[in-house]
Amino acid sequence: MAGLITAEPALELLAPVQLSTVCFRWKDLSEGELDRRNAAILREVFRRGRVYLSNASIRGVFALRACIMNHRTADADVAAVVEEVLAAAAATA
């Protein structure tokens, strides 16, 4: 997932990825609006119901948080998280 996020210009990692938790955010706004917009994206991801994310605070900023624990998770499942975040960002624009 970290590779997919790093490859997507609209997203950025907020913390090093050491295990199964990935904290990131959508970043295509001025710094002051990012927390509000990422919270709206998270609500839209919930509403869409395809993937599940939680949130965290990383150095005082709102982060989208994916935690992959199921050993049967496939690459397509991981890619779906990024796809859904981008779709939710477009829907909340």
- How do the domains of the chain map onto residue ranges? 2-91
pLDDT computed for residue 18 by the predictor? 86
Q: Are 34 and 45 in contact (CB under 8 A)?
A: no
| Cα four-point dihedral sign 50, 55, 13, 9 | positive
pLDDT computed for residue 66 by the predictor? 96
Q: How many CA atoms lie within 13 Å of 30's alpha carbon, on the beta-carbon side?
A: 2
Q: Which residue ranges in the chain fall short of pLDDT 50?
A: none
Q: Are 23 and 13 in contact (CB under 8 A)?
A: yes
pLDDT computed for residue 93 by the predictor? 84
Q: Where are the alpha helices (DSSP H) in 49-74?
A: none
Take residue 61 and report the two structure tokens written for it: 């900023």
pLDDT computed for residue 30 by the predictor? 67
Q: How many CA atoms lie within 13 Å of 39's alpha carbon, on the beta-carbon side?
A: 7
CATH superfamily of 2-91: Aspartate Aminotransferase, domain 1 (3.90.1150.10)
pLDDT computed for residue 1 by the predictor? 93
pTM of whole model > 0.85? Answer: yes
Reduced to 3 states, what is the DSSP secondary structure of residue 28?
coil
